[in-house]
Structure 1
Amino acid sequence: MVARNNERTSMVGGGYYNQNSSLQALVAEECGGLVSPDECQGGSITLADYGCSEGSNSVLMLRRAIESCPEDASITIVFNDTPANDYNSLSATMDRLLREPDKKNPRKIYPLMAPQSYYQQVVPDDFVDIGFSTASLHWIARLQPAGGNLLPSDADISAEVLADILHFLRTRYRELRSGGLLLLSFPVDGELSLKCAYPSIFQCLTDLAVEKVISKEAASKFRLPFHFRTPEEISQALQAVKGEFEVVEHFDRDVTHPAFLQFQSTFADSPSGTPDAKALDAYCKAISGGFTAIIGNTVVDTARLFRGASSSTETSSAEEIRSRMAEKLQQRLRKSDFWRTSLGNKYVFLKLRKI
């Protein structure tokens, strides 16, 4: 059996992910809205967010869930992410947004942090009433070079993603109380996607290799660390855990990236159909920032794993690599015609109840 508890990749911290995850924010908030008041009874309620990153999207999601809890409830919130996560930023986000002292929330809220991979058990058995995970379960543990156990290039991805999600679900099963809920949302295979920007990502890495920011080997070895599951792969996973979880809700939704909608509005009425240059620059910057926030650390990990004699990776800081990536990716997007394609993702929403 492949060990999956050595995952160390995280989203880019320092407020960067918070500022560059508007697509994920829409999904997180909708996921939080799936909790109803009759599912949040009791004087003490425990919520857990598996894959919280810096927390701004978690707060949007959890605020919706907390509104369904009794006003006299004491609510424990477990914020979980890998040890590499920026917990200083997460703490500041919680302090600034979750408590909101001016709004006089009568509920008592107790935030906790669990710095472990969600492929490990992160809280005791029968501890959580409602667990969440949004925009993170498409990540594949063994496509992340920091883990030290890279998936071979010829491996069966379908088998790997099934093993990942079953490991996640069965670990959560132990942590949930009887009748507890698990609310999941993650991008899946669909017509609406981010793929129109992928060529620019790999061209950007080639640019970094030419400039000796990373090695040529790192540029050629880099793999996007996620996989968008098909409906068949999701059904297979749900069938495998049918004795442990009841499916309460299961639906898909196309979510267009807010930056694309804003950009599209600037030239929709243009007779020539040509976008305004400033609007296109802003759009490219937003999408470059979004991808850098998501995979910037994976690029750094790949650069460090595949060092080359002619690269400056030994002396370049992670911040320098990410900064150059964001700049080069923005330039590559600007030169491409990716803007002609709607950009976003299809997301699956799952509401599961522990049997």
Structure 2
Amino acid sequence: MVVRSNERTSMVGGGYYNQNSSLQALVAEECGGLVSPADCQGKSVTLVDYGCSEGSNSVRMIQKAINSCPEDSTVTIVFNDTPANDYNSLSDTLDRSLRDTENKSSRRVFPVMAPQSYYQQVVADESVDIGFSTASLHWISRLQPASGDLLPSDADVSAEVLADILRFLRTRYHEVRTGGHLLLSFPVDGELNLKCAYPSIIQCLTDLAGERIISQTAASKFKLPFHFRTPEEIAQALHAVQGKWQVVEHFYRDVPHPDFLQFQSSFAESASSSPNAAALEDYCKAISGGFTAIIGNTVVDTARVFRDASSSGKANSPEAIRTKMAEKLHQRLRGSNFWKTPLGNKYVFLKLRKI
């Protein structure tokens, strides 16, 4: 089995992911809503978010869990992400959020940061009452050349993602107390998806190579680091851990992208079959920002691995690559017909109880 304890993937920091993850925010809130008061009884409760990024979506989800805890309880919250995560931004987010929480509740809340890959154990055995992971378990690090252990092109991706999720679930089994819960949500294969924007992403990377921001090799080697599991793949994973985890809730939901819904509403205000120019501009900017927030750092990592004489030595700083990526992707989306297709994702929601 591949050891992933050296995972260094992260979302773009500096507040960028916080500002460009409105779809993920909706999912996080719904996942947090699966917590009931019966799940977090006692004077001391420990919550863990595995894959918290900069924290804005995490705190919205965690707040729902906190509200279910007894008023006189002490709540420890562990915010976990890879060592490459922007923990300064996370700290700022938590400080603002928890100051607001303290003014509204008698609960004592203590945040803790755990800068480790969630493919390894990050907290003590039997210490977690409720664990969360939203919008992250579809991420497959070995689809990126920068992983150091690139998945071969002819490899069985289904076998790889099964190994990923089983490693995650079996590691969490040590951490969650008996009777405790694990709440998961991640995008899956479905009719509602983000694929209408994918051609613009590939074209954008070609544009970056053409301007010598990244190398031609980096542009050709980059792969979107996602695998959207099928219901059959999820069932296979749950079957493999059925002696450890009991399925309490398991359902699917289409979640339209909020920026798509806002853009779509502009058509209701016009009799024209063409989109409002200002609304389309805003929509393209939002979607380009969202994709840059998610994969901008993996583009940077791939550019670092595959540098050659075709790339400039001056303009390929991480910040320059991400900025140019957002700009070129915006232009490519603006010149395409992606807006004609509904944008969003189908998500699976799982509430598991440790047996």
TM-score normalized by the length of structure 1: 0.98
* 1-structure distance, mates of 2:274, 2:315: 42
1:152 corresponding residue in structure 2: 152
1:90 corresponding residue in structure 2: 90
Q: Which digits, 9 at most, give the CA deviation of each residue in 1:157-178, with x for residues without a partner?
A: 0000000000000000000111
Output the amino acid matched with 1:238: L
* 2-structure distance, mates of 1:88, 1:160: 33
Output the amino acid matched with 1:80: N
2:210 corresponding residue in structure 1: 210
What percentage of residue pairs aligned between the two structures are identical? 77
1:333 corresponding residue in structure 2: 333
Shift, 1:99, TM fit = 2.9
1:110 corresponding residue in structure 2: 110
Shift, 1:77, TM fit = 0.2
Shift, 1:315, TM fit = 5.4
Shift, 1:308, TM fit = 1.4
Q: Which digits, 9 at most, give the CA deviation of each residue in 1:230-277, with x for residues without a partner?
A: 000000000000000000000000000000000110113532311111
* 1-structure distance, mates of 2:300, 2:158: 26
| 2:186 aligned with 1:186 | yes
| 2:247 aligned with 1:247 | yes
SS in 2 for 1:133: strand
* 2-structure distance, mates of 1:202, 1:103: 47
The 1:284/1:315 distance shift into structure 2, 3 A limit, reads closer
Q: In the alignment, is the contact (CA less than 8 A) between 1:74 and 1:108 conserved in 2? A: yes
* 1-structure distance, mates of 2:224, 2:250: 27
* 2-structure distance, mates of 1:313, 1:300: 14
The 1:346/1:352 distance shift into structure 2, 3 A limit, reads same
Q: In the alignment, is the contact (CA less than 8 A) between 1:288 and 1:330 conserved in 2? A: yes
* 2-structure distance, mates of 1:125, 1:63: 24
Shift, 1:147, TM fit = 2.5
Q: In the alignment, is the contact (CA less than 8 A) between 2:144 and 2:222 conserved in 1? A: no
Q: In the alignment, is the contact (CA less than 8 A) between 1:33 and 1:65 conserved in 2? A: yes
Shift, 1:129, TM fit = 0.6
Q: Which digits, 9 at most, give the CA deviation of each residue in 1:317-351, with x for residues without a partner?
A: 10000000000000000000000000000000000
Shift, 1:104, TM fit = 3.0
2:4 corresponding residue in structure 1: 4
Matches within 5 A, 1:274-285: 274-285=274-285
Shift, 1:314, TM fit = 6.8
Q: Which digits, 9 at most, give the CA deviation of each residue in 1:155-201, with x for residues without a partner?
A: 11000000000000000000011111000000000000000000000
Output the amino acid matched with 1:120: Q
Q: Which digits, 9 at most, give the CA deviation of each residue in 1:109-147, with x for residues without a partner?
A: 000000000001101111111000000000012123333
Q: In the alignment, is the contact (CA less than 8 A) between 1:192 and 1:342 conserved in 2? A: yes
Q: Unaligned regions of 5+ residues in structure 2, if any?
A: none
Output the amino acid matched with 2:117: S
* 2-structure distance, mates of 1:130, 1:196: 36
Q: Which is worse superposed, 85-94 or 138-147?
A: 138-147
* 1-structure distance, mates of 2:202, 2:274: 26
Q: Which digits, 9 at most, give the CA deviation of each residue in 1:46-73, with x for residues without a partner?
A: 0000000000000100011111000000
2:16 corresponding residue in structure 1: 16
* 2-structure distance, mates of 1:236, 1:246: 14
| 2:163 aligned with 1:163 | yes
SS in 2 for 1:239: helix
| 2:233 aligned with 1:233 | yes
1:348 corresponding residue in structure 2: 348
| 2:100 aligned with 1:100 | yes
Q: In the alignment, is the contact (CA less than 8 A) between 1:7 and 1:144 conserved in 2? A: no
* 2-structure distance, mates of 1:310, 1:340: 36
2:291 corresponding residue in structure 1: 291
Output the amino acid matched with 1:258: P
Output the amino acid matched with 1:328: K
SS in 1 for 2:267: coil
* 2-structure distance, mates of 1:335, 1:313: 30
Q: Unaligned regions of 5+ residues in structure 1, if any?
A: none
Query: What count of residue pairs does the alignment treat as equivalent?
Result: 355
2:39 corresponding residue in structure 1: 39
